[in-house]
Amino acid sequence: MVGRMVMSANTSKAVQALDASLNEDLDALRRDGLFRPLRVLESAQGPEVDIAGKAVISLSSNNYLGLNTHPRLVEAASRAAFEWGAGTGAVRTIAGTQTLHEELERRLAVFKRTEASLTFQSGYAVNVGVIGSMLDQGDCVVSDKLNHASIIDGIRLTKADRILYEHTDPDDAERALSEARAKGYRRILLVTDGVFSMDGDIAPLPALVERAEHYGAAVMVDDAHATGVLGTNGRGTTDHFGLHGRVALNIGTLSKAVGVVGGYVASSQVVRDYLIHKARPFLFSSSHPPAVVAACIAAVDVLEQEPQLMEQLWSNTRHFKSGLRELGFDIGESETPITPVMCGEAPVAMQLSDLLLERGVFAQGIGFPTVARGRARVRTIVCATHTHEQLDRALLAFEEVGTRLGLIGDRRQA
């Protein structure tokens, strides 16, 4: 408080002018119902979390398998912190690579059935780093219109041309690929989310890979929401569709089902060598603390040895999705644990989210720019650690609030 008072007493006109100018932009968000306080969790992430002193069912995390609190991860993290210290104090290319980092990369490569892998500080950093470093003027990226923001930002960093194709449409991707081929680019990269983060639908990877191969393009798949969810032991969409060896760049995060933080690309050794020398987030940002790396290694062990977690995730997913459908909610095209409850305009989504929270369910409202205007939603993700009893309580809250807001009712009677 004292600090803030001193700050404002000494605030220069330039600082005040910047605040005033930024506040005008924030006012626009307030008018559109998009200005949101950060929800503060007073407990560990889990099937239930404490918010504002109250235990609520959480449907908002990407903690698909509950690994963040898995005893093997917690123990590995604690032991590594004691043995290796709290941080590395360097970027990977100077003094920030420990045997732990290399062990995790070997394990991820084996898990993803690729020759090599390289970890980054986050999934965001890996997308920005890979696309930003591999493509330049004279290259072209062919990208699904609804790809994740980190892919879009990676594309923005390159001088490469870009051609977008209609969401999950292999025919339109073919149009884009043939256009790119005709222009004689040096490198063509087709990029897609494996599972789309806001809609929960799965990319038609076999058709995309086939078309990309036909036009001489390499494929990059962002499996942020597929790792730990799809494929044998959660190996992701490449494994789910049996496309090993045909996807050049398998992107993953360590921040979602893996339960920790970070990102990686599983690929050839050449790609790994290239990125070590060229990817700017890898080169210019310090490496993961040992506790993070050790916990990720333990997570790979769990993925390989405890398949029942994924089975539970899918049982919960089926239970919750069919509950929402029976109530009459519009849940889009989702095929995975990500289930959007479509609301139309942002204020409705935010109201649904707020009313659910009052009834003990934490499910975030999502609006523009994360999704298109008019496509606002409450996005839900069930985890392996939810019980059916918790999910039924959540469905009851959705029924009450959805009826009150007119999101269900007519459709159910029809």
Residues that bind ligand PLP (CB under 6 A): 122-124, 127, 148, 150, 193, 197, 222, 224-225, 253, 255, 263
* Residue nearer to ligand PLP on the CB measure, 225 or 375: 225
- Is 145 a known active-site residue? no
Closest separation in Å from C-beta 10 to ligand PLP: 36
225 an active-site residue?
Answer: yes
Q: How far is CA 56 from CA 67, 318, 351, 357, 390, in A?
A: 19, 21, 17, 7, 10
359 token code pair = 């009834």
For ligand PLP, the closer CB: 148 or 386 = 148
Nearest to 361 by CA among 323, 411, 308: 323
Residue 350, token pair as written in the block: 């935010």
| Residue 165 CB, nearest approach to ligand PLP (Å) | 17
d(CA 348, CA 353): 9
> Exactly one of 256, 288, 321, 386 is catalytic; which is it?
256
Number of H helices, E strands in the chain: 16, 13
Burial, 71: exposed, middle or buried (Cβ in 10 Å; 0-12, 13-18, 19+)?
Answer: exposed
Closer to ligand PLP by CB, 150 or 250: give it. 150
Nearest approach, Cβ of residue 193 and ligand PLP (Å): 5
CB of 256 to ligand PLP, least distance (A): 7
Instruction: Write out the H or E segment, with its range, that includes residue 234.
Output: none
Catalytic residue among 112, 225, 321, 386: 225
Tell the smallest beta-carbon distance from residue 237 to ligand PLP (Å): 11
- 117 vs 197, beta carbon nearer ligand PLP: 197
Cβ(151)–Cβ(134) below 8 Å? no
Which is closer to ligand PLP, CB of 170 or CB of 262?
262
Residue type, position 282, single letter:
F
Catalytic residue (one of 61, 150, 197, 287): 197
Residue 278 is among the residues annotated as catalytic for this protein: no
Closest CA to 297 of 132, 101, 89: 101
Residues forming the active site:
197, 225, 256
